[in-house]
Amino acid sequence: MHTIDTVVIGGGVSGLIYARERALKGDQVLVVEAQDNVGGAVWSHTLQGIETNTGAEAFAIGRDAMLGLVKDLGLKDRMVAPATGSSFIVGDDRAYASPRNAVFGMPAKPLAKDVREALGFWGAVRAWRERFVPAKRATGDDVTVAEFVRARYGKAVLERLVTPIIRGVHSADPEKLELRAVMPRLAERVQELGSARKAIEEILDQRGVRSSSGSAVHSLTPSMAELPKALARDIEAHGGRIFTHTPVLGLRASSEDRTWIITAATQAAAFTREFKARTLVIATGPEFARHLLSAPAPDIADLIPVAPATPVRLATLVLDNPELNAKPRGNGVLVDPAATTIRAKAMTHASAKWEHIHRAAEASKPGRNVVRLSYNPDADGSLPDAERFPELAIHDAAAIFGLQASDLTVADWALTDWTGTMRQSGPGHTAALKALAEALETQTRGADAPLPHLELTGAWRAGNGLEAITRFTRELASR
C-alpha cells in the first residue's frame, strides 16, 4: 500500500487549511470528506437567483489570520465590508443600538450615549464603577463569561448587552461559557491593567475597529463558499487530492512503519478502501474524533473534551417588500433573551448588510430583500419544528421590523440546520485542551513516540469563528 505524507479526515475549513499548508510545503496530501461537498458550515444556496450563505456569512476583521489567508488565496478582490455599521438589540417593547466601543457587549466607555440608551442611567453608572472593582475579582482560570461580567460591570450589562450577543452570535449561554475559551487573555490583562475597561480599550486599539456587534466583519462575493472552493483549488493545484462521499469507518496504527491505516467507505457503499499516512489529521467534531481514536489511541481519545454543541436552525426568507430597503433595523438584530413575542435569537438583514446581495436581489426583482433568522433550542433542548416554518420566521421578521406578518410577501424560503458547529466551552475546557496538547506531544511526535504523528483541529480546539480556526490551524500545520 502506498504511503501518503498527510491524510486529513474532514473537509471543512479547518481540514482544508491544514491540507493546503502541507501541500504548499511539498507533502503529498489527501482529504477525505463524508459529505458531497467540502466547506462544512461555510457554504451557500441559491434562492430566486440570489446566492446566500447557508452557514458562516462573514469573518472578523481587526486581526490578520483570515485577512492573510484571503489574500494568499487570491480572493482580496472578492472581499467586501458591510454596507452599514449599525446593529440593534430588540425586545418585546424596545429596541436599542448595540454600543460601538465594546467587545462582546462589554463597553470601554460606559457613560457613552449609546451605552446609556441601552442600560439606562443607573445601569451605565454601575458599568462605569467597574474601574473601582479589584483587579483580581472574577478573573480566575475557570470563571464564566457571566460571572466575569456580573462581578465587574453589573447585571444590566450582562442581561442587556452581553447575553444577547453571546446567545445570538455564538449560540452559547454566558452562564456556562468559559471566559478563557472565547477571550483567552482578557482576565490576565484585567489583572495587569487594573480594570476590564482598560483591557477592552486595549483590544479595540489592537483591532483598529470600533463598530457595533456584527459590523466588525468582512465577507466574500458572491458568498463565503468562495473560501473553501479556493482552498480546494489550491490543494489540487499543488498535487493534493480530495475525496468526497468518503466517510471514514475506522483507524489503526502500525508500529512497524509508524503509519496510520485509515479505512473508509466508497460512494458505492458496498466497498471499502484503505489509505496509509505518515501524518493523520482529524478535523472533525470532538465526538467523532474520540470515536475514531478510541481503539488505536484510547489515552488520547479520553482527553478530548467534548464541548457541547448547540444546534442552530437558520431560516432564509426572500421578501418582496420594497419598504425594507430603508433598512429599519440596520444590518441586523440580536433578540433580548427575555423577549416573549419573538422566538428567533437573531436576524440578519442580508440585503441591507451586504451590497452584493442587495444588487443580486434587485436584479432578481426590484424591491426584493433577503433576511436570515436563526433559532436555538427551546428549554427542552429541541429546535422549533420544521413544520412551523416559514410562518414562524415570517412572524418573527415582522415583529423585528415593527410590521404585521400579513405585511410581508414571501417569494421564497429555505431552512438549514447545523447540529455540531457552535461549541460551548464550559469551565475547565482550556485546561483540558492543554492536557490534550501535552499528550499529543509526548505520544505522537518524535522517533520514540508510541504512536504515529497525529494532529487534531477544528472549532472545538481552535475556538469558534473563522479567525480563530485559521490562526490555530495554520500555526499547527507549520510545525
Tens-digit pLDDT profile for residues 9-22: 999 999 999 999 99
Q: Residue 62 — pLDDT band, cuts 50, 70, 90?
A: low
Q: Which of 63, 5, 134 is nearest to 468 (CA)?
A: 63
Q: Are 161 and 181 in the same domain? A: yes
Indicate if 141 and 169 belong to the same structural domain. Answer: yes
| pLDDT at site 269 | 62
Q: Which residues pair with 102 in a beta bridge?
A: 107
The predicted structure's pLDDT at residue 85: 63
CB atoms under 10 Å from CB of 79, counted, come to 17
Same domain, 433 and 289: yes
Who contacts 467 (Cβ-Cβ below 8 Å, separation ≥6)?
59, 60, 63, 65, 66
- What's the structural domain count of the chain? 3
Work out whether strand 248-254 and strand 259-265 pair parallel, antiparallel, or are unpaired. antiparallel
- Write the CATH number for 120: 1.10.3110.10
Bridge-based pairing state of the strands 88-90 and 332-335: parallel
Please tell me the predicted confidence (pLDDT) of residue 211. Answer: 55
Query: What's the CATH number where 467 sits?
Result: 3.50.50.60
Buried/exposed code over 331-370 (b: 16+ C-beta within 10 A; e: otherwise): bbbbbbbebeebbbbbbbbbbbbbebbbebbbebeeebbb
Which of 163, 180, 207 is the C-terminal boundary of a domain? Answer: 207
Res. 231 pLDDT band, cuts 50 70 90:
very high
pLDDT surpasses 90 at 297: yes
Cell reading at 133:
472593582
| Averaged pLDDT score across all residues of the chain | 92
Contact 404, 156 (CB under 8 A): no
**Mean pLDDT for the stretch of residues 163-167:** 91
Is 65 within a domain? no
| Whether 415 and 441 share a structural domain | no
pLDDT in tens, 423-439: 778 888 889 999 999 99
On whether residue 69 sits in a domain, the answer given is no
Q: For helices 186-193 and 145-152, give the axis angle rounded to 10 degrees.
A: 20
Assigned domain for 213 exists: no
Is residue 13 in a domain?
yes
In a domain, 280, yes or no: yes
Is residue 214 scored above 50 in pLDDT?
no
Q: Is pLDDT of 209 > 70?
A: no
Please confirm whether the linkage preceding 228 is cis (ω < 30° from 0).
no
- Nearest residue to 365 (alpha-carbon basis) of 25, 33, 47, 32: 47
Whole-number Å distance between alpha carbons of 422 and 123: 30
Q: Within this chain, do residues 136 and 104 fall inside the same structural domain, yes or no? A: yes
284 domain-assigned: yes
Question: What cell was used for 170?
Answer: 455564538
Q: Is the pLDDT of residue 165 over 80?
A: yes
Q: In this predicted model, what pLDDT tens digit does every residue of 244-276 receive, in sequence order?
A: 999 999 999 998 899 999 999 987 666 889 999
Residue 298 falls inside a structural domain: yes
Specify the long-range contacts of residues 436-439, CB closer than 8 Å, at least 24 apart. Answer: 436/300, 436/303, 436/304, 436/305, 436/461, 439/299, 439/300, 439/303
Is residue 93, in this structure, part of any structural domain at all? no
Domain assignment of residue 240, given as a range: 3-41+225-307+426-477
Residue 34 banded pLDDT, cuts 50, 70, 90:
very high
Show the cell assigned to 171. 449560540
In this structure, are residues 250 and 243 in contact, taking their beta carbons and an 8 Å threshold? no
**Half-sphere exposure of residue 203: CA atoms within 13 angstroms, side-chain side:** 25
